[in-house]
Amino acid sequence: MREYLQTLHDKNIDARLTFLNLSVEKTLERQCSNLSAQWWVGVYGSIALGLYLFQYGWYFSLIAVPVTAIFFCRSYAIEHDCGHHSFLRGRLQNSIAGNIIAFPTLILYAMWKFIHNSHHNHVGNLDKRDVNPEMWTMTVNEYNNTKGLKRLMYHFVRSRISRFVFAPIIVFRIIFRIPNPKFDAQGNIGVVIYDLLYAALYWFVFKHFDGAALLLVYVTPLMMFYTLAFYVVYAQHQFEETYWEKEENWNYEEATFKGSTYLTAPKWFNWISCNVVYHNIHHLISAIPNYNLEKAHLALSKELSYKPISIFSVYGLLDYKLWDEDAKKMVGFPQS
């Protein structure tokens, strides 16, 4: 299996031709145009609708809230593909599209791209956890040798209330607003520029619009999107039979495929999330854009075996807290 995974990775550059049929250029352009049009109408149209309905009663605006949240989810998926230069043909086009699409979600494109690429390059490497923005994961031995405040903090970080309530706010609304020496120069410059733009925009918006309306029709769906994102992202690498190895034994292809999930979900969820369920395929061949991941999944299923995990079982995966290096699996906290 390792040899086959290596072959697929070596052909990563050609993956778009393999699974997208890019020789038919108009097909790609039509697909991207459709997604872009959906994004403009979905995000800004639903926000405008919510603000308009608010004047007749706040409860009317609730109609627009889930629609905005859904298109925030799709915005993140398109930004993600732009970061991999797979949504459009050119690097510049992807950067422009990524910055525009990322703006209303407050997830800064250049900074996020740097963090996400670091994650792809070091996924499953125990010796690179300091540069892999995956959820804080200790080994059993590390946990047993940790006491006091650090252990208490680890328990909090791995708790459900932290994952679904505090983490989305802390990461997306606070950490992503602060330049970090671990980011590259482009990422930090992007943080500063975006923060200035947001400050000016917020001043203008709250001066000319009803603050309560904005909280309902913009902030509420934004927080719904953040929470759903943290729910799904957790499941992408935090499961019992995931992959962690030290540097000397770490293998990129195995880490990307074995350490990433294939989630089963209803069609409507796949549409909302832009096929995020095929995360193992995405990590293996990141050049495939979201709208062709299912096609790639079906094509590769003849050669690779997938162990599906239901999207509805993700909540239970939070019981796994530590990596057992001997058993090669995630386990819960030791029973006291």
Residues 215-228: pLDDT tens digits?
999 999 999 999 99
- Residue 252, domain member (yes or no): yes
End-to-end CA distance of the chain: 40
| Residue 336, domain member (yes or no) | no
* DSSP string computed for 250-296: --HHHHHHHTS-EEE--HHHHHHHTSTTBHHHHHH-TTS-GGGHHHH
> How confident is the prediction for the chain on average, in pLDDT?
86
Question: Would you say residue 327 has pLDDT above 90?
Answer: yes
Q: Is the pLDDT of residue 32 over 90?
A: no
pTM, two decimals, is: 0.85
Domain membership of residue 148 (yes or no) is yes
Position 207 in a domain? yes
In this prediction, residues 139-150 reach a mean pLDDT of 95
pLDDT at 322 over 50: yes
Average pLDDT over residues 176-191: 87
Report the number of distinct structural domains present in the chain.
Answer: 1
Separation between Cα atoms, residue 123 and residue 299, nearest integer Å:
24
Region 119-145: mean pLDDT is: 92
pLDDT at site 210: 84
Domain range holding 62? 2-331
Is 236 within a domain? yes
Note whether residue 307 is domain-resident: yes
For 198-220, what is the mean pLDDT?
A: 89
- In a domain? residue 264: yes
pLDDT at 13 over 50: no
